[in-house]
Structure 1
């Protein structure tokens, strides 16, 4: 039976500890390590001549070992009569001056300023386990009373967030200096704690310090790094704990689907600096014997690329790199990086702990990158949406060498919400997306992004291109449909690239966009060149409510209804669209709003195969003909749903051979911008289209 406490109340109960030590017997119980582990940092802050009060001593051998190396003025207190009696008996002959007393640490009988140091190993953690922390606060107040000026409270702790916050805030309010040492175990120590042990040192001044003195040291001899505010110190502690847990977990290896990741923060500012994601090779992969471990540094601005920002993409990256373990490192916005060599030097002391089991000692670990460059990113705007949180509008150089403007929500920084390509005014590039990789990337742009214009013929996402290709189902460009207007309802604005493309290139198109977030509309106008007019309107509001209202009003029909809207609920397993958009009752309203030739288009992103099957069955239950177009290497798929029963599987060859050519020609001939061409291959986008 385990002797460890089962509840917070037990952890801070005198009766519990009395029972604990009676059952434990004479065997020492060492919380968080013994003298050998702690002696380096203890000797640094406690002098042998100091009078030391050891609170919550238990039956630890630590005081005995300190006594044996010269600390002769130790007063040990514990709330348990059993442990005090036992420890006095054990030391009566060998250590006659080592005393143990049954004393409550929250109300001691000692005089003010009578000790130069207070030593606490695990007692704060036990007392702070109470919900309100009142017991721990009383103990810390008592510690402050009995310590003399210049005295130190030295506390060995696991630094759980509530515990360390309570202690640090308490001593900061008292005007004391606070320093934390993180004692990290060797990566190979199998029986070590998953969490690192911290030693908290709080020093009492004669006059309270007007500004907080907060410092963090890595290891017992690590140089102190000054930290400005308490939340930043807590963040740094949390990072070290996450790093230790990840390192411990990696000692036994992972599988190719684990995707363990860790964010490292700048120790001075507390802001995220690097995110490390561990990607192991697939089982059975033929990896060269020498290829144990490598670090891949993602160029700045490209961490949202599918290859680096998705688990599937990183899996492919690891397979092509052909190492047993690849650590993919992404750099964060709002951080300064000198060059690739400086980044490597900064990461080198950390990443070795993440090596796979069995890697030979002193093995050289290669750093991989794209052309040895850091990449380039310029944040042009930042803001906050009440609906979606913080966002960043930034210009980056892509893998093809071109410049792109992106909208990223920081709550999901691995996903690009919207993207436009930047080109010199009136000279938009005409090369197609599929040829981009042939252009060699450079480190920095030759032209300031502020002097560039947005390429209206560019569609940022493959699923947008598939949706545009789906207009072939309307037989656009054929003689019988020449000059026939096309009405479109699109739910989800983003940066506005898709609706503007439809307005500018689809013959006779008029588009109504429904967008829930007014901030997105303003961002689209200011930074993505979105310009509504009489053929492109925006309705601010909920897409569900707008479609319900249109269905209830009656009298208005659309040739195409498109859903390109993401879900804020990450627990469902479907990130596009929100669940309410694919309920049968709602889909029937969508059906009722389509013209006889109408087409419904749905961007579906669902990693749950069972849920995906259910969604497709709901759509098929409403629409007589449903086609699916997957995207290679991505989770996205686009469902193209016809209202007409005549559009069956036999019409697919027609899409590919006739309608695709007609639509391609129509898009090129209907260019209303005069400055750009549509960069899309309709036939390519419909290749592989299948019945859902």
Structure 2
């Protein structure tokens, strides 16, 4: 992951801890930190050396992976205003930061102690970078005795300690939590509006850029869904605060980094889709993982697909409809349940070549042109991966192939946690499908894997004025289509 988890990145600052003496007493037993202990997570309060009336929250997390040699230690300061955000206040958030920092065995997070009566729905306003850098530099020096106490004993043998200070960096200027929810399967999650640093080429007639995001507490740094939102008409945005702006979803633009790449994969089967449209049939898509429904809405509204979406949690679907512009109608069918169970049902229904109804409450009329898989793992302690391990098995891939038409493709959002996972996925896909393509999302995290039921000649097609490929190119940047590579 570009160490953005679709939302943020890390930057190394040139601050190091050198040899020094402990000059103040600690409120805990220093010896507990002398030994590296896999997956140990400890939090405690510590006096703020820069503000005598306040305290710091210190969290120490040891990697679940035993280091091969001397453990490496890094620290991170929590940005002011984000102390209660799940990214910095939960164990799962700490794990995600740890896994996003290759080679780090022990991660220390330091931030202001959480206020007792803080309103968690308060608006976040990013503080000045200059003020923040100055404060963190002072803290880095003042907290040297604490850092030394938190080093494993094996690190002290050479007498010189180098400890990088990681800095959390993202493009969010302001944010406002709209709602916090609890789903029966996904647990706690939230919806938030954010104002981001404006990207060139988007909304150039506007002075500000706004997004709506969906995040799960179990993986708080990973943005599950992000859409562009547009201020409603007749609002002067010169000085109005984000919580006072009324928005509407923009379903035409796919802004979540990997979604345009997933949609671009349809260019491989554009001629097949054209033939289907010419005889009066809508192309069909099956989407595993709905989130905010941005991909489903895009396919149905702007590419005239009939879409079946599968989501395990009803509460997530409610949020998608209320906040992200998802509309269930004759072209978008939502099915609540487990993805693999749905796949079992769909595979059997297609083989019978007739309409059938099940506990999912849907009808399968024909095979799909595309199956899109946007599912991720549920446990931050095992690093982020997509798709889940159970979806990588050859038996599941065979069922995916069985619901596709002869020119069909399966498109996967892939986040490989390690080389073995990727190799297993590729080997299994090759054993089931004829051709394999890849799109590098270019964010250091995601890539899109495309598998074809039968071999496809990936070459430029002669364009007609109103064919499917032309429409796709109008909606998407041509960059992703040009970067499709056979592997």
What is the TM-score of this pair, normalised by structure 1?
A: 0.48
- Higher percent of residues as helix: 1
Matched residue, 1:420: 227
Whether 1:506 aligns to 2:303 is: yes
Report the alpha carbon displacement of residue 368 of structure 1 after superposing the two structures with TM.
12
- Unpaired runs of 5+ residues, structure 2, are 1-16, 30-43, 64-69, 115-119, 148-158, 199-207, 354-365
Are the aligned partners of 1:488 and 1:560 in contact in 2 as well (CA < 8 Å)?
yes
Matched residue, 1:665: 470
Report the alpha carbon displacement of residue 352 of structure 1 after superposing the two structures with TM.
2.6
Matched residue, 1:382: 180
Whether 1:468 aligns to 2:274 is: no
Are the aligned partners of 1:376 and 1:396 in contact in 2 as well (CA < 8 Å)?
yes
Report the alpha carbon displacement of residue 662 of structure 1 after superposing the two structures with TM.
4.2
Whether 1:591 aligns to 2:396 is: no
Deviations 1:612-666 (A, max 9, x none): 0111110010001111111213221111111123x1xxx22236x7599943423
- Shift of the 467–478 alpha-carbon distance from structure 1 to 2, 3 Å rule, reads same
Matched residue, 1:104: none
Where 1:606 maps in the other structure, the secondary structure is coil
- Shift of the 390–478 alpha-carbon distance from structure 1 to 2, 3 Å rule, reads closer
Matched residue, 2:320: 524
Are the aligned partners of 2:231 and 2:248 in contact in 1 as well (CA < 8 Å)?
yes
Matched residue, 1:486: 283
Whether 1:351 aligns to 2:140 is: yes
Matches within 5 A, 1:520-559: 520-554=316-350, 555=353, 556-559=366-369
Are the aligned partners of 1:496 and 1:524 in contact in 2 as well (CA < 8 Å)?
yes
Say which is worse superposed, 401-410 or 540-549, in terms of deviation.
401-410
Whether 1:496 aligns to 2:325 is: no
Where 1:488 maps in the other structure, the secondary structure is strand
Matched residue, 1:139: none
Where 1:652 maps in the other structure, the secondary structure is coil
Are the aligned partners of 1:261 and 1:275 in contact in 2 as well (CA < 8 Å)?
no
Whether 1:652 aligns to 2:458 is: yes
Where 1:546 maps in the other structure, the secondary structure is helix
Are the aligned partners of 1:216 and 1:224 in contact in 2 as well (CA < 8 Å)?
no
Are the aligned partners of 1:376 and 1:444 in contact in 2 as well (CA < 8 Å)?
no
The separation in 2 between residues aligned to 1:464 and 1:660, in whole angstroms, is: 25
The separation in 1 between residues aligned to 2:288 and 2:377, in whole angstroms, is: 12
The separation in 1 between residues aligned to 2:303 and 2:290, in whole angstroms, is: 18
Whether 1:635 aligns to 2:469 is: no
Where 1:375 maps in the other structure, the secondary structure is strand
Are the aligned partners of 1:491 and 1:543 in contact in 2 as well (CA < 8 Å)?
yes
- Shift of the 329–225 alpha-carbon distance from structure 1 to 2, 3 Å rule, reads closer
The separation in 2 between residues aligned to 1:328 and 1:198, in whole angstroms, is: 17
Matched residue, 1:680: 476
Which of 10, 17, 26 aligns to 1:197? It is 26
Which of 582, 586, 600 aligns to 2:392? It is 582
Where 1:526 maps in the other structure, the secondary structure is helix
The separation in 1 between residues aligned to 2:132 and 2:423, in whole angstroms, is: 45
Deviations 1:312-350 (A, max 9, x none): 8x99xxxxxxxxxxx999999756669527655654542
The separation in 2 between residues aligned to 1:689 and 1:622, in whole angstroms, is: 20
Matched residue, 1:179: none
Deviations 1:282-309 (A, max 9, x none): xxxxxxxxxxxxxxxxxxxxx9xx9x99
Report the alpha carbon displacement of residue 569 of structure 1 after superposing the two structures with TM.
3.7
Report the alpha carbon displacement of residue 542 of structure 1 after superposing the two structures with TM.
0.3
- Shift of the 265–566 alpha-carbon distance from structure 1 to 2, 3 Å rule, reads same
Are the aligned partners of 2:328 and 2:334 in contact in 1 as well (CA < 8 Å)?
yes
Deviations 1:47-67 (A, max 9, x none): xxxxxxxxxxxxxxxxxxxxx
Higher relative contact order (CA 8 A, sep 6+): 2
Are the aligned partners of 2:179 and 2:191 in contact in 1 as well (CA < 8 Å)?
yes
Say which is worse superposed, 476-485 or 529-538, in terms of deviation.
476-485
Which of 205, 209, 213 aligns to 1:406? It is 213
Report the alpha carbon displacement of residue 537 of structure 1 after superposing the two structures with TM.
0.8
Are the aligned partners of 2:185 and 2:313 in contact in 1 as well (CA < 8 Å)?
yes
Report the alpha carbon displacement of residue 369 of structure 1 after superposing the two structures with TM.
8.7
Deviations 1:402-448 (A, max 9, x none): 10011112332211110111113489xxxxxxxxxxxxxx9976675
The separation in 1 between residues aligned to 2:459 and 2:281, in whole angstroms, is: 24
| Equivalent pairs, count | 390
Structure with greater Cα Rg? 1
The separation in 1 between residues aligned to 2:472 and 2:395, in whole angstroms, is: 35
- Shift of the 615–259 alpha-carbon distance from structure 1 to 2, 3 Å rule, reads farther
- Shift of the 445–584 alpha-carbon distance from structure 1 to 2, 3 Å rule, reads farther
Report the alpha carbon displacement of residue 495 of structure 1 after superposing the two structures with TM.
0.5
Are the aligned partners of 2:230 and 2:247 in contact in 1 as well (CA < 8 Å)?
yes
- Shift of the 560–637 alpha-carbon distance from structure 1 to 2, 3 Å rule, reads same
